[in-house]
Structure 1
Amino acid sequence: MKIDSKSSLKDFFDSKVQQYNQPSFIKEDPICVPHTFTKKQDIEIAGFFAAIFAWGNRTTIIQKSFELMKLMDNNPHEFCLHHQDQDLKRLVHFKHRTFNATDLLYFISFLQQHYKKYDSLEAAFTIPKEKEMEIRLMRFHEYFFSLEDAPARTRKHIAPPYKGSSCKRLNMFLRWMVRKDKAGVDFGIWQKINASELICPIDLHVARVAKRFVSSPKVRPLKS
């Protein structure tokens, strides 16, 4: 199926938005994890982990995300801010694919330090004044790994765009937090990033799909 007209292509994508941007879609997507919370910071943390875990089987992604929320007493913001050392012991056996306890403990350490200073995780993406998303993602990477005990192995879970990463999972998380419409799938709880700044990375899978609809897409797939 090839779509050569821009207007026809827009109509096609608009129809897909109508098809999938529905509340009924939530329960089978990782976005269902943050949808179990109402507190802004809980939504951010649950969404952040669900997005980071989002590779592989969706059922497993959702299962492991909820498992982590349970380990944090289903109160992730409170847990990240006020946990004691003994509370962290319950996390040492957590694992999702290549994401293990070492990575998890650093993530929680970062979130604790961040939320001591800021009310929202949005601040981690809006520290630079530049509105170019690639720069925001690079600055976030630098900020996220700015703690002295940042493990080298954990960097693979938040790869920077300057190393060729498409940052698919971070971009998905940003879409969840920024976009807002009447459908209620995305949250729209962040105000400092405009929806027009959001991007959909062209990775190998997206490029393959694009070639089915566009005669000669000029894209260079990036690493995930």
Structure 2
Amino acid sequence: MIDRQSDCAVHNAALAQRMHALKPHLDRLYGTWNRAEFVSPDPLEAVRVFDDPGDCEVAGLIASSLAFGNVKQILASIDLVLTTMKRPAAWLDRATERTIRSAFEGFRHRYSTGTELSDMLVGAKLLRERFGSLGVAFAACMPVDDDDISNGLESFVALLRSDGRENYLLPNPARGSACKRLHLYLRWMVRSDAVDLGCWGGVAASKLLVPVDTHMHRIAMRLGLTARNAADLRTSREITAAFRVIAPEDPVRYDFALTRLGIRKDTNAEPFLAECSGHLLR
């Protein structure tokens, strides 16, 4: 037991040293890339066109749930759904279940179907009817003393799956996957800066987990924030714990800027990673 505690203390000290060495580089990257002008190409651009928080939370749920596959296809599928709805919150609140299912009967995004989209939207409608907003619903799902949003997210997804059916658009957090799209949605809704919308006031940014996609996973491994090969919930928690060392109130702060290095065609991660590696080796 003593050896294990000693090893943990050594690991934590080494991680703290690494993160404080990386912080100036991460802050410069944040200052350069965390701007609205660099959102495109990203599903978030389809959400940012709305001003009303209700429209944002409904559009955000749709956009994040469809954020898999080719970015051009993602944006086209999101546009198809949001063009049908026009004002997403008002449309959803007025619509009957039959209206929703009829509107998206022929919808398909890769291997997800109109039935899955309609199931999710019906669940969202029921939550808005019950709680007034999805944000209030999520806050009600959050255990007060939890360190992160994992349990709250699991309860929230269970409520959204009002019929209890499996739904690829709403992965089950209890299974230990990274649930990247759901964590992306929470980042958009909870954080507030030049990029993220901050529509929800009842959830602390300090409890968010980093959305781990292939870009974030690769960069985090190169920076020494994780050695895990699986992009799962444990890896997300490990990466988030590293960022909490330097940004305890906002551990997801650097997510957008870091992932630009893998997503945008006008830049790449190698110069940044080389700069960080050179500093760490001094």
Q: Which TM-score applies when normalising by structure 1?
A: 0.85
Q: Is the 8 A contact 1:30 1:50 kept in 2?
A: yes
Deviation at residue 88 of structure 1 after TM alignment: 3.9
Which residue of 2 is the match for residue 175 of structure 1?
187
Paired amino acid for 1:89: S
Give the corresponding residue for 2:106: 93
Candidates 194, 219, 230, aligned match of 1:221: 230
Look up the match of 2:50: 37
1:21 matches 2:34? yes
Runs (5+) with no aligned partner, structure 2? 1-16, 234-282
Classify the secondary structure of the residue corresponding to 2:109.
Answer: coil
Query: Which residue identity lines up with residue 158 of structure 2 in the other structure?
Result: E
- Please report how far the alpha carbon of residue 5 of structure 1 lies from its aligned counterpart in structure 2 after TM superposition: 3.5
Pair 75,203 (structure 1): closer, same or farther in 2 beyond 3 Å: closer
Q: How does 1:118-133 map to 2 (within 5 A)?
A: 118-127=131-140, 128-130=142-144, 131=146, 132-133=148-149
In structure 2, distance between residues paired with 1:222 and 1:161: 13
Q: What one-letter code is carried by the residue in structure 2 that aligns with 1:213?
A: L
- 1:29 maps to a residue whose letter is D
Q: Which amino acid aligns with 1:194?
A: A
CA distance in 1, matches of 2:100, 2:120: 15
Alpha carbons of structure 1 residues 150 and 102: separation in structure 2 relative to 1, 3 Å: farther
CA distance 1:101–1:208, shift in 2 (3 Å):
same
The separation in 1 between residues aligned to 2:26 and 2:49, in whole angstroms, is 29
Q: Is the 2:46–2:63 contact (alpha carbons within 8 Å) kept by the matching residues of 1? A: yes
Aligned counterparts of 2:188 and 2:99: Cα–Cα separation in 1: 33
Q: 1:223 to 1:5 in 2, by over 3 A?
A: closer
Determine what percentage of the aligned residue pairs are the same residue.
28
Structure 1 counterpart of 2:154: 138
RMSD, aligned CA: 2.3
Q: Select the structure of larger CA radius of gyration.
A: 2
1:165 matched to 2:174? The reply is: no
Is residue 66 from structure 1 mapped to residue 75 from structure 2 by the alignment? no
CA contact (8 A) 2:143 2:151 kept: no
Deviations 1:111-153 (A, max 9, x none): 22111122221123222333431111111122222x3x3433x
1:202/1:220 contact within 8 Å kept: no
Equivalent residues of 1:204, 1:221 under 8 A apart: no
Q: For 2:135 and 2:70, locate their aligned partners in 1 and report how far apart those are by CA, in whole Å.
A: 28
Q: What SS class does the counterpart of residue 33 from structure 1 fall into? A: helix
- Could you tell me how far apart the structure 2 residues matched to 1:21 and 1:205 are? 16
Query: Separation in 2 of the partners of 1:87 and 1:123?
Result: 23
Compute the displacement of 1:81 (Å).
Answer: 1.5
Between the aligned partners of 1:223 and 1:58, the Cα distance in structure 2 is: 22
Offset, 1:57:
1.7
CA contact (8 A) 2:56 2:199 kept: no
Specify the code of the residue in structure 1 equivalent to 2:81. Answer: L
1:188 positional shift: 1.1
CA distance in 1, matches of 2:23, 2:156: 32
Q: CA deviation at 1:209?
A: 2.2
Amino acid at match of 2:175: K
TM-score, normalising length from structure 2?
0.68
1:105 to 110, 115, 118: 118
Q: CA deviation at 1:220?
A: 5.9
* Equivalent-residue separation in structure 2 for 1:212 and 1:159 (angstroms): 28
